[in-house]
Amino acid sequence: MVGDKPRTEAYRAAIEASRHLFQDKVVLDIGAGTGILSLFAAQAGARRVYAVEASGFHELARQNAERNGFGDVVRVVHGRIEDVTLPEQADVIVSEWMGFYLLHESMLDSVIVGRDRFLAPDGVMFPDVARLYACPSTLAAFHCDQLQCWSRPYGLDLTAVGEAARRSMQQAPQVLDTHPEELLAAPELMLELHLQYVTPEELAAVTCRRFVTVTRPGPYRGLCLWFECQFPDGSRLDTAPRAPSTHWRQTAVVLPTDYPLEVDTVIGWELTLAREAGGGRKYRIALSMLDEDDEHPVPCGCAVGKCRLIKALIDKEDAECDEG
């Protein structure tokens, strides 16, 4: 984590901006690793930090706490959060639990266990909200580097290799860097998790249906996914294409072929994230393309007349409720 400056700095700045939540409080760091978040919490004035780490890194976390003068504040607990015992409840739980496209190989299940076992009734989760976004993309740079390069190298037709590579890429999502100009529409919110309340049952499978209006012409080659996490002070750790690149980068579900799109075209998809059989931390992605005439969610932000009318009525009703 330390080497990934954007994510480490996001946590450091958010903890510093929320010193009032940490001052003289008990903090639980789940999956502490080498203890960097525990040290940030100690710097913010925590009375006690329990750094729970199951791997061999627990000894490094202990040494780091001692060498930075926080040996009396940071108590390193070697074990799984599911198994350990603590002498008191925590006022704050901090964890860097996110996986690729938020859920894949994440530690969220363990964080939920830690919350249910140790968080005080008025305690705070840090971060407290996580959101997953999706947007159709040209995947231009990825396509050029991984697929187009097989078209005529050395004057030879090797497109069979590119076709085979594309088929292979459809078997698993691709981790890559996407540029903002490769996005063909406004991003759509697919999932929002409030860490204070989310349950493991909600994470077993997530299905979202969305329609968007194309704002930039180009070949539709895949659906791009990324996430953001929000801290109690309102600041965010953002992994969007416009943000500095992180360890997670973005994730793309590659389509079997290119679909040329023009501005104002309405396209839709249904995305399912399902935990693999047997539990665990791995997810499988299923993407289905939808026709404009398929059922739209309500509300829907696309340019289809019915959706625009329904959204306008909902917005009007919300405005009247706010005024009332």
Q: Beta-carbon neighbour count of residue 94 at 10 Å?
A: 30
Complete DSSP assignment for 170-220: TTS-EEE---GGGB-S--EEEEEEETTT--GGGGSEEEEEEEEE--S-EEE
Cis geometry, peptide bond prior to residue 299 (ω within 30 degrees of 0): yes
Q: How far apart are CA 223 and CA 94, in angstroms?
A: 31
| Helix (H/G/I), strand (E/B), else coil: 42 | helix
The continuous run of DSSP H or E covering 263 comes out as none
For the chain, list the strands marked E by DSSP. Answer: 26-30, 48-53, 74-78, 90-94, 119-126, 129-137, 174-176, 188-194, 205-213, 218-230, 236-238, 250-261, 266-275, 283-290
Token match 């309102």: residue? 234
Task: Please give the positions annotated as active site.
Answer: 96, 105
Mapped to the 3 state alphabet, what secondary structure does 110-152 carry? HHHHHHHHHEEEEEEEECCEEEEEEEEECCHHHHHHHCHHHCC
